[in-house]
Amino acid sequence: MPTHRETILTALHARLSTLPATALRGEVLPERVPADGLLILRDGEPGEPEVTLSPLRYHYQHRAEIEAVVQGTARDAAFATLSASIGTAIAADRTLGGLCDWVEGEAPRPVDLPVEGAASLKAAVVSVVLHYSTADPLA
């Protein structure tokens, strides 16, 4: 049985999979970037929870990371479109179907990465903060 954390990350990946870009989870960067862009969801860090008693609950602000990558001559526009689509996908359901209390993305800091013999990549890590509570830190 998957943990609550795994269920949330699976739901976030499913939401990203609805975008035109290819969405992977926990994979290495492939040799070729698809024309519509590439998203790689990383599990990130749940951090130290705040704890409340009676009933015992662990409240997390889990930082997952989405690596967003585009390639080509119009990479600035493609990256802007890809970033906006991530924001739109998150805003469409800020609770991931009731699994989280709130989901929010943070602004990316894009960088251009030269590729020998090919068009440069434009990439950034987009942090997504997942606010949720569990009855057990291992659940």
Q: Is 101 part of a structural domain of the chain? A: yes
CATH number, domain of 26, equals: 3.30.2000.10
Q: What DSSP string runs through 62-87?
A: EEEEEEEEEESTTHHHHHHHHHHHHH
For the full predicted model, state whether its pTM sits above 0.85: yes
The model's pLDDT over 33-81, given as tens digits with 9 standing for 90+, comes to 999 999 999 999 999 999 999 999 999 999 999 999 999 889 999 999 9
Q: Is 15 part of a structural domain of the chain? A: yes
Helix (H) or strand (E) holding 39: strand 38-45
The C-alpha atoms of residue 20 and residue 113 are separated, in whole angstroms, by 22
Q: Is 139 part of a structural domain of the chain? A: no
Q: Which domain holds residue 54?
A: 4-134
Alpha helices in 1-120 (DSSP H): 4-16, 75-91
**Average pLDDT of the chain?**
95
Which of these, 79, 69, 82, 127, lies nearest to 103 by C-alpha position?
A: 127
The tally of domains found in the chain comes to 1
